[in-house]
Structure 1
Amino acid sequence: MNKKTKIKNENNGFVLFFSLIISTIVLSIISGIILIAYKELIISSTERESQKAFYSADTGAECALYWDIKHPLPGYEDISVFPNSSDSTLPGTITNGCSQNNINITSILVPAPTLTSATSTFSMDISSSGVCVDVIVSKYVDSLGNEKTKIDSHGYNTCDTESNRRVERGIRITY
């Protein structure tokens, strides 16, 4: 009888070892699936934030185009709000945004224009969704004497400059 008891004990150890290996394999597979799902979640979140940044850049570029081609203030419809040289006469301060109450201009700056070029910069806080945009409008005369305009619009998914998840997208329009 002692021999049968001994044999039975040896088989029990093998079953325990076998179940431990199977559970380790299953746990490894599950943790791998969870890790893949987590990474896909981060990628989809980044894509959403990138889309917000791109659309804010597009909004800034469209506003700059509108203000350059057709000024929104009465009496100045046919002139640009952006100077093209130091001899330019500006129609005044821009106090309204493209969508009247939805977009607020936070700053506008025209640093030292020359006789043949000028650069204007402004920032907008699109407050309804918490996104921001910085726009640079450069007007210059090319080597053939043609007036050119370059609009660089940089959109951000958040106005918080310290955010680790801040995404920037840019659009450049030249005509």
Structure 2
Amino acid sequence: MIIAATNMSVFSTQSKPTDDPGFTILFAVIVVGAVTVLGATLAGIYQRSALLVTSSDASSRAFYGADTALECAMYYDTQHDSFSTTTADINFGEVECRGISASDTSYSGSGPYYRSFSLNSDDERLCAEIYIEKETDGDGEIRTRIEARSRNTCGESARYRAERALRTAY
């Protein structure tokens, strides 16, 4: 007995190609979207990281400028008595820090005594103002307070501008 099969496609192992091209386009759009989101995320992280590094550099430069100015003022006060409470006559040309002579000096002769000067280098690597206050306490001891303020750049229009201040008293 022979049975004839009328529909041979039931026994076929080959699959018929689909006529639905939408799946390929959808898959491509999903992959491109995922890569775009990943790229935008990485760009945002890089931008924030670059900003942090730039502001950190500006802050460090301002801090070390203030430290330099403070140490310079303390040196000239303790070693040369450059900031006297008795006279305004002082040669600020002798006050020199990192090869930069002091400028823009001011003096207040009524106690407490105030002095201030600036250190601004030509290459804008040091831009600092130093404020010195001296007063005599009840025991006749002279108390000194020094504040040094420095910026990372002397220019007013800098994009990343940082200012740091240090104070000491003795």
> Does TM-score exceed 0.5, indicating one fold?
yes
- Deviations along 1:29-87, one digit per CA (max 9) or x if unpaired, are 1111111011101111111111111111011101110111112xxxxxxxx22132xxx
Are positions 1:127 and 2:122 aligned together? Answer: yes
State how many pairs are aligned. Answer: 155
Residues 81-120 of structure 1: matches in 2 within 5 Å?
81-84=82-85, 88-90=86-88, 92-99=90-97, 102-111=99-108, 113-114=109-110, 116-120=111-115
What is the letter of the counterpart of residue 31 of structure 2? Answer: I
Question: Which residue identity is paired with 1:110?
Answer: Y
Q: CA deviation at 1:127?
A: 3.1
The structure-2 alpha-carbon separation of the partners of 1:142 and 1:164, relative to structure 1 and needing over 3 Å to count, comes to farther
CA contact (8 A) 1:52 1:156 kept: yes
Counterpart secondary structure, 1:70: helix
Letter in 2 for 1:41: A
Q: What is the TM-score with the length of structure 1 in the denominator?
A: 0.79
Deviates more, 1:121-130 or 1:45-54: 121-130
Shift of 1:18: 1.9
- CA distance in structure 1 between the aligned counterparts of 2:162 and 2:31, rounded to whole angstroms: 44
Contact 1:81 1:91 in 2 (8 A): no
Q: Secondary structure at the match of 2:91?
A: coil
Aligned equivalents of 2:79 and 2:161: distance in 1? 33
| Contact 2:92-2:101 within 8 A present in 1 as well | no
Query: What are structure 1's unaligned runs of at least 5 residues?
Result: 72-79
CA distance in 2, matches of 1:24, 1:145: 77
CA deviation map 1:127-170 (0-9, x unaligned) = 34533000000001235543210000001111112323221011
**Structure 2 unaligned runs (5+)?**
1-15
> Given the alignment of the two structures, is residue 160 of structure 1 paired with residue 155 of structure 2, yes or no?
yes
- SS of structure 1 residue aligned to 2:143: strand
Closer/same/farther in 2, CA of residues 144 and 162 from structure 1, 3 Å limit: farther
Report the aligned-residue RMSD: 2.1
Task: Check conservation: 1:83, 1:119, Cα contact below 8 A.
Answer: no
Q: Report how far residue 24 of structure 1 moved.
A: 0.6
TM-score norm. by structure 2 comes to: 0.81
